[in-house]
Amino acid sequence: MKLDCCGLACPEPVLQTKKALESLPNDAILEVIVNSIASKENVLRYAHNSGYEAKSEEREDGKTIIAIIKGFTCNVIEEDKESPFLDKTLFLKSDKVGEGELGAKLIVGFLKSTLELPKLPRRIVCVNTAVFLTTADENAPVMEILKTLENKGVEIYSCGVCLEFYNVTDKLKVGKIGNAFGTIEMLFGGDGTISL
């Protein structure tokens, strides 16, 4: 089965992929065609997180074909009971806490303080202007903090639509491109959300 998701805004490519996979019998192959980096990353991540084998191929016309094989699942390792993570998501809506220079200092302070907690949040989701944190200059204080969190295993996602809206998709330096469907799953799937 072929599914053309070119030009569709987030989260449509993931939602259409999900519906198509649900309708297919086992041992079938779904080919999803997308034409943006965000859609490619989101569809691949959805397929892998759902236990499907998936691979992508870039075409010369700028489109990507993602082949998803239904019926083959990945083995999931049981989570360690002594996990260094809280099952919480830190949801960031802005690159500041408050306004101006003080707000910019506060977000750095809050994120740096997170490193001192006995358990880290499992994931950080950046939407709206919070994507400026994950696309900041390499020398920005926030970049070192976010990279340290990522190196400790915290999953960091930046909204794909937001990255495209602010024209900074190619400047993403830490974390992965996220999507609305994945974000909703994270927010409703854990023990709680902390919003700044």
Catalytic site residue from 10, 126, 159, 162: 10
Q: Which of left, alpha, beta for 129 (phi over 0: left; psi -120 to 50: alpha)?
A: alpha
Do the beta carbons of residue 89 and residue 194 sit within 8 Å? yes
Beta strands in the chain (DSSP E): 2-4, 29-34, 53-58, 64-69, 85-92, 120-126, 155-159, 176-178, 192-195
Alpha carbons within 13 angstroms on the beta-carbon side of residue 193 total 15
Contacts for 103 with CB less than 8 Å, ≥ 6 apart: 94, 96, 97
10 catalytically annotated = yes
Alpha carbon distance 98, 15 (integer Å)? 34
CA dihedral 147, 142, 145, 97 (to 10 degrees): -120
Both tokens assigned to 155: 């999953």
Mind telling me the catalytic residues?
A: 10
